[in-house]
Chain A
Amino acid sequence: MAERMGFFTDSSVCIGCKACEVACKEWNGVPDDGFVFRATSYDNTGQLGADTWRHVAFIEQDDRWLMSSDVCKHCTHAACLDVCPTGALFRTEFDTVVVQADICNGCGYCVPACPYGVIDRRERDGRAWKCTMCYDRQLGGLEPACAKACPTDSIQFGPLDELRARAEARLERLHADGVAEARLYGDSPGDGVGGTGAFFLLLDEPEIYGLPPDPVVTTRDLPEMWWWAGGAAVTLVGAVAACFLGSRR
């Protein structure tokens, strides 16, 4: 396998231009996501979804504006991939998670499985869609469209180890400059999803950006769930047998 590739999205230099959203749509042929006026902030895209693979969150606070470009996290332990019954979701040689559109039968199970609310079913098409980290561009030795288009290098693409080192240095620098609220999100292999292939530098709590504060891959508890189901199945058989006691013919 090739080196694990990833995104480091440094929200401290994001200017909210949405070039990443546009570049992603153009390169990947992603349909429009509706022309909705949300009346909340400078964000009419709303959230990631089947037709939105990069989403710039825009948060107006009293003394500052926060902007951050959200994307599929390409988890180390990816729930969408775990629960996909067809094998349409697979892990690439770049350690990213991609849906094969010619395999997906639109069962929709990956949608509620994702702890970040990223992947979704495109109803007029019937299949599940999400960011591929521009798998096709990577195969051609190019960086993903969003990273390429980002004018401030808020979105950085590269080998994950390098990105993590770069993010640590950036965090130290920001802390030294007095930006105490700066923090990394998704960089730790010890978190509930084993660390993410796309991680972030945020300037406030993750939930402000619409991100879960402590996500856990649902399949971590799956062995326990199968045991409980086994107990219920045995109970069911016992209960049926009990129903026939005393009425032997």
Chain B
Amino acid sequence: MRAGRGGDPAATVPEAEFRSYYGQPVLKPPVWHEPHMPVYLYLGGLSGASSVVAAVARFSGHDRLALAARMTAFAGAGLGSGFLIAELGRPERFLNMLRVFKVTSPMSVGSWTLAVHGGLTAAGAASAVTGLLPLAGDAAVMASALTGPVMATYTGVLLADTAVPAWHAARREMPFLFAGSALASAGAAGMLTTPRAEAAPARVAAALGAVMETTAAAIIERRLGLEGEPYLRGRAGLLMKASRALTLGGGLLATVAGRSRTLTAMSGLAITAGALCTRFGMLAAGKASALDPKYTVVPQRDRAAGRRLAVVPDQEGGSDTP
């Protein structure tokens, strides 16, 4: 039975019929480890969005928030680079990432972006800490507002540009999911590191980011049908549910967090935990999606069947097989 798949995940959908080689996966699951990869994805997004916050805050005279965001952007990029290098099978060869530049490789684009972004945020932070070259420091922060949005979104392309069905099928929403989560994370970090009286824009960022992330995740779960199933099941399903509860709860709290230190802490920590759950959930869903041959075979069979239906009426002899 192939009808009725997709749509409401709660509906009792008949299991898709398919054949396989003893139920073994067709694909290799992503080899990336926990916590390295998901934590890097979080820190990279945090750093990217924070650098934009730092630049706009500096422009608009929110100096205390600008300083906090500037330091967060540097810390995120620095720590994130550490996690990324530790994830490599041969960490001592991390500089090989900068041997070539390839737009066909989101990993290459990301490595170069991280290298430039890391340098800029380090310069900005160094200037702020030492008080030296303030103009150069500000210029670095402004420049990092250009690399930051790439940092916060390329990770969506990184995951989607694979054969993993749950990731590739979510290629439209994925960059928005990561951008929203990064914005929420940066807002949360801003709330936690800036006096409440000066953190109003950070609270708005936290709430806005939470809405964006939750919306993107909801669209993924609804639009994808069978390929989106791994986001709803098993460990990935639990993580994605936890992420939604924490992110939405934290985002709601952010709107009233200006009232007390406790509310601020609760909101900021909930959003941060939610952003981490999202990253761990995405990796878990990707692995589950690659390991079950159903998600590879059934959509490909459907695609091939659809193409045959579309082709046959136009061809006299029906010679659709090569």
The residues of B that contact A151 with a CB separation of less than 8 Å are none
Task: Determine how close the nearest CB of chain B comes to the CB of A215; give it in whole angstroms.
Answer: 7
Contact mask B194-221 → A, CB, 8 Å, 1/0? 0000001110110011001000000000
Task: Determine how close the nearest CB of chain A comes to the CB of B235; give it in whole angstroms.
Answer: 18
In chain A, positions 113-162 with a C-beta closer than 8 Å to chain B are 113-123, 125-128
Q: Kindly report which residue of chain B lies nearest to residue A168, judged by CB atoms.
A: B322
Interface pairs (20), CB distance under 8 Å: A83-B161, A85-B102, A106-B90, A107-B89, A112-B28, A112-B29, A113-B162, A113-B163, A118-B28, A127-B90, A128-B89, A210-B20, A210-B293, A230-B153, A235-B212, A236-B49, A237-B52, A243-B204, A244-B62, A249-B60
The residues of B that contact A85 with a CB separation of less than 8 Å are 97, 100, 102, 105, 107-108, 111
Q: Kindly report which residue of chain B lies nearest to residue A104, judged by CB atoms.
A: B90
Q: Does A17 contact B (CB under 8 A)?
A: no
Interface residues of B (CB under 8 A from A): 18-22, 24-32, 49, 52-53, 56-57, 60-62, 87-91, 93-94, 96-97, 99-100, 102-108, 111, 145, 149-150, 152-154, 156-158, 160-164, 167-168, 171-172, 174-176, 178-179, 182-183, 187, 200-202, 204-205, 208-209, 212, 286, 290, 293, 296-297, 300-301, 303-304, 321-322
State A111–B105 Cα separation when bound (angstroms).
13
State A121–B60 Cα separation when bound (angstroms).
48
Q: Does A88 contact B (CB under 8 A)?
A: yes
Q: Does A169 contact B (CB under 8 A)?
A: no
* Number of interchain pairs (Cβ within 8 Å): 263
Q: Kindly report which residue of chain B lies nearest to residue A108, judged by CB atoms.
A: B31
The residues of A that contact B97 with a CB separation of less than 8 Å are 85-86, 105, 107
A222 contacts B62, C-beta separation under 8 Å: no
- Find the residue from A59, A117, A225, A243 having the highest chain B CB count within 10 A: A243
Known contacts A114-B163, A207-B26, A213-B300: A121-B19 contact under CB 8 Å: no
A46 contacts B24, C-beta separation under 8 Å: yes
B60 contacts A109, C-beta separation under 8 Å: no
The residues of B that contact A6 with a CB separation of less than 8 Å are none
State A212–B94 Cα separation when bound (angstroms).
33
User: Contacting chain B: which of A8-16, A23-31, A183-191?
Assistant: A183-191
Known contacts A112-B290, A116-B26, A209-B21: A107-B153 contact under CB 8 Å: no
Known contacts A106-B90, A212-B26, A233-B150: A248-B168 contact under CB 8 Å: no
Known contacts A233-B150, A240-B53: A207-B293 contact under CB 8 Å: yes
A222 is contacted by which of B32, B161, B175, B286 (Cβ under 8 Å)? B161
Task: Determine how close the nearest CB of chain A comes to the CB of B102; give it in whole angstroms.
Answer: 7
B20 contacts A233, C-beta separation under 8 Å: no
B157 is contacted by which of A57, A79, A222, A247 (Cβ under 8 Å)? A222
A210 is contacted by which of B26, B56, B201 (Cβ under 8 Å)? B26
Q: Kindly report which residue of chain B lies nearest to residue A217, judged by CB atoms.
A: B163
Q: Does A92 contact B (CB under 8 A)?
A: no
Q: Interface size (A, Cβ < 8 Å)? A: 81
Known contacts A232-B178, A239-B183: A106-B28 contact under CB 8 Å: no
State A230–B153 Cα separation when bound (angstroms).
8
The residues of B that contact A190 with a CB separation of less than 8 Å are 322
The residues of A that contact B96 with a CB separation of less than 8 Å are 86, 88, 103-105
B24 is contacted by which of A123, A210, A232 (Cβ under 8 Å)? A210
Task: Determine how close the nearest CB of chain A comes to the CB of B251; give it in whole angstroms.
Answer: 13
The residues of A that contact B204 with a CB separation of less than 8 Å are 242-243, 247
Contact mask A208-232 → B, CB, 8 Å, 1/0? 1111111100110110111011111
State A228–B28 Cα separation when bound (angstroms).
26
B157 contacts A226, C-beta separation under 8 Å: yes
The residues of A that contact B208 with a CB separation of less than 8 Å are 239, 242-243
The residues of A that contact B22 with a CB separation of less than 8 Å are 38, 40-41
B104 is contacted by which of A184, A208, A222 (Cβ under 8 Å)? A222
B104 contacts A229, C-beta separation under 8 Å: no
A207 contacts B104, C-beta separation under 8 Å: no
A109 contacts B157, C-beta separation under 8 Å: no
Q: A209-B21, A211-B26, A225-B171 are in contact. List 18 more A-B contacts (CB 8 A).
A: A59-B21, A85-B102, A103-B96, A103-B99, A112-B28, A112-B163, A112-B290, A114-B27, A207-B297, A214-B300, A229-B156, A229-B175, A235-B212, A236-B52, A236-B179, A237-B149, A243-B201, A244-B60
A115 contacts B176, C-beta separation under 8 Å: no
Q: Kindly report which residue of chain A lies nearest to residue B160, judged by CB atoms.
A: A225
The residues of A that contact B164 with a CB separation of less than 8 Å are 112
Task: Determine how close the nearest CB of chain B comes to the CB of A111; give it in whole angstroms.
Answer: 5
State A42–B216 Cα separation when bound (angstroms).
46
B304 contacts A213, C-beta separation under 8 Å: yes
B105 contacts A84, C-beta separation under 8 Å: yes
Task: Determine how close the nearest CB of chain B comes to the CB of A64; give it in whole angstroms.
Answer: 15
State A130–B252 Cα separation when bound (angstroms).
50
Q: Kindly report which residue of chain A lies nearest to residue B301, judged by CB atoms.
A: A213
> What 8 pairs across the A-B complex have the smallest Cβ distances?
A106-B89, A126-B89, A210-B21, A105-B93, A232-B175, A233-B149, A85-B108, A214-B300
Q: Kindly report which residue of chain A lies nearest to residue B302, judged by CB atoms.
A: A214
A239 contacts B163, C-beta separation under 8 Å: no
